[in-house]
Amino acid sequence: MPRSPRYRRPTLDSAVAAYEKRIAPLLAPEPADPSGRRRVAQENDTAVSAALGIEPIAVATEDSTVSVDEHPDVRVRVYWPGSVPAPRGAGLPILVYFYGGGFTIAGIDWVSWDARFRQRARDAGIIIVAADYSHAPEQRFPAQPEQCWSAFEWAYAHAEELGGSRERLAVGGASSGGDLAAAVTLMNRDRENRPIAMQVLENPALDLTIGHADMRGISAGMPGVIVRTAGQALVRQYVGDDRALARHPYASPLLADSHEGLPPALILTSELDPLRGDGEAYARALSAADVPVTAIRFIGQTHGSLGSTGYVPAADAAHRILVGELRTLHDRGRA
């Protein structure tokens, strides 16, 4: 009997389809202008979070402002795993994290991102330092990687007083934030070589020339040329009209001349996300440079669906994997 080709092609996870159908009536159309799009996108995030009952759990937080040479200051928010800040010298792991939003929207004040940081800090028993880097096009490359580098340096300098440990320091990010997290590991290797125990990249954008985007998971109703055009438009907002900047290693970490000496990586990708090509190529690049790397592809998932914990089983699994990996940081430096 011939094999059926039915399950050979990528198909949207039924749980993701149900989730998207549920939230679709809550989403107002976003205007084309950057500030208007940013405002409506945050309103949509607030509306969806309210409808789904997403409420940030009670953990201790504190905002600080970090100065950045030749660029705008960056606000950082520290999340502790408990209801009060960890005591000085407690030695907790620290994850310096960069939110995702295509370089143009989102931030640490979005309900969904704030809730995610709180949940991860509590479940992993770690400190999270989340950087609220500037949006494009008002600020362009290299402002964002320099802000993220400064946030990382601030976390390193203040680790002990935050109740953390410099020996248990990690960086992470999602989407555009994954690009920035990978850039920070390169900047660290090039500048200070601080000990970074781990990098965690979720559906990261790592080649802003769009040269590694993988369109095979996109439906016929969304031609690859449209996806590439949309991606290139976002890149132009971030780097401007100088295409050469998109090839700079701090803009496109995948295109760096060398990936030697970078921290061990956990990379999560989604089958129906064109950026899967970036994440999986980066995993190969790191492995070729003898960097320990684990890459996991989630079947039937889209670029944003792994953030839908509580509604998409794969998102819950991704959360457990991330938390489990982050919890291993507690064992660093112990005899």
Which residues are tagged catalytic? 175, 273, 303
**Cis-peptide into 137, omega within 30 deg:** yes
> Which amino acid type is present at position 79?
Y
Q: Strand ranges (DSSP E) for the chain?
A: 61-68, 71-79, 92-98, 127-132, 164-174, 198-202, 265-270, 293-298
Beta carbons of 182 and 201 less than 8 angstroms apart = yes
Q: Would you give the distance in Å from CA 321 to the centre of its chain?
A: 15
Distance CA 50, CA 72 (A): 32
Q: Is the dihedral of CA 183, 184, 190, 195 positive or negative?
A: negative
Instruction: Mention every residue, 6+ apart, whose C-beta is less than 8 A from residue 135.
Output: 34, 38, 101, 103, 104, 105, 107
